[in-house]
Amino acid sequence: MTVEKKTEKKTAVKKVVAKKAIKEKTPRFKNSVKGKNNRPELKVSRGYFAFSIITMMSELLVIIVLTMALTSIGNGPKYVMDNAGNITKVREDKPVKNGTILETDRVVGNPDSKVAFIWYVDMQCPACAQMAPLVNELYSRYGDRVAFATRYLEISGHNYTRPATIAVEAARRQGYFWVMLMEMFEQRGEWAYVNSNEMLTERFEKIFVDATDGKGDLAKFAADMADESIASVIDIDRRMVIEDSLNFTPTIIIDGMNIDFAGGSESVVDMFTKAIDEALAK
Q: Report the C-alpha gap between 255 and 105 in whole angstroms.
A: 15
Same domain, 31 and 104: no
**Residue bearing the bigger pLDDT, 282 or 57:** 282
Residue 134 pLDDT grade (very low, low, confident, very high; cuts 50, 70, 90): very high
197 inside domain? yes
20 inside domain? yes
89 inside domain? no
Q: Are 207 and 171 in contact (CB under 8 A)?
A: no
48 inside domain? no
110 inside domain? yes
Q: Report the C-alpha gap between 232 and 16 in whole angstroms.
A: 106
Q: What is the CATH number of the domain that holds 255?
A: 3.40.30.10
Same domain, 108 and 200: yes
Range with the poorest average pLDDT among 115-119, 223-227, 259-263, 271-275 = 259-263
Q: Report the C-alpha gap between 121 and 196 in whole angstroms.
A: 24
pLDDT in tens, 218-268: 999 999 999 999 999 999 999 999 999 999 999 999 999 999 988 767 889
86 inside domain? no
Domain extent at residue 159: 94-281
Q: Are 96 and 258 in contact (CB under 8 A)?
A: yes
Same domain, 33 and 124: no
Question: Residues 38-59: what's their mean pLDDT?
Answer: 59
Q: Report the C-alpha gap between 146 and 143 in whole angstroms.
A: 5
Domain count, the chain: 2
pLDDT in tens, 24-36: 554 544 444 455 5
pTM above 0.85, yes or no: no
10 inside domain? yes
260 inside domain? yes
Q: Report the C-alpha gap between 86 and 94 in whole angstroms.
A: 25
Range with the poorest average pLDDT among 67-71, 105-109, 119-123, 213-217 = 67-71
